[in-house]
Amino acid sequence: MLALLCAGIAFGQAKNSPQKIVVYVSGGEADGIGDYAGAFLVDAITHNGGYSAVERTADFLQAINKEQEYQRTGMVDDEHIARLGKQFGSKLVCVVKISTVKDKYFIQARLLDAETALVTNSTKPFLFTLEDLENVCNSIATQLLTEQSGSRTIQSAFGQ
């Protein structure tokens, strides 16, 4: 019975338009890795079924730049980023952090609910090379969105 209920919910969701996700990448600006990671994540999200990503319009880039200026001052938090997602009509924001430690690259992501600014899913940091960045971004999107849609189905099945 539960399997039929979950299948019915999943079928009903497939008819709806894709859920929009804003992708916010910080770090990796100096060597352009952030741009590539953002592009790979947008591609992975749009090919993950049931999701679309916000295009990088001039308005979006301007808003991102404002948020990054705040971030450099240490004032940006998840609430600011969630408001940015909400401003662009998205319920979810994929926040990506790229770091370098001793010439090694790390990437970590979390999914924020734009209404509540709560983290709904996250990944552990992935160690990556430039050659495998696309594969790592595909893994991140799959982990964030598969678990996200699975938890949404379970919550819907139990009326939560």
Residue with tokens 């160690």: 127
User: pTM (2 decimals)?
Assistant: 0.69
pLDDT at 124: 93
Tens-digit pLDDT string for the chain (160 aa): 333 333 333 334 445 678 889 888 888 887 889 889 999 999 999 998 889 887 554 455 566 566 666 555 555 567 767 777 777 778 888 989 999 999 899 999 999 888 888 899 999 999 999 999 999 999 999 999 986 554 443 333 333 3
Distance from C-alpha of 33 to C-alpha of 18, rounded to nearest angstrom: 27
All domains of the chain in start order, with CATH = 2-157 (3.40.50.10070)
Across-strand partners of 153? none
Distance from C-alpha of 136 to C-alpha of 50, rounded to nearest angstrom: 20
18 is written with which tokens? 């894709």
Across-strand partners of 7? none
Neighbours of 20 (CB within 10 A): 18
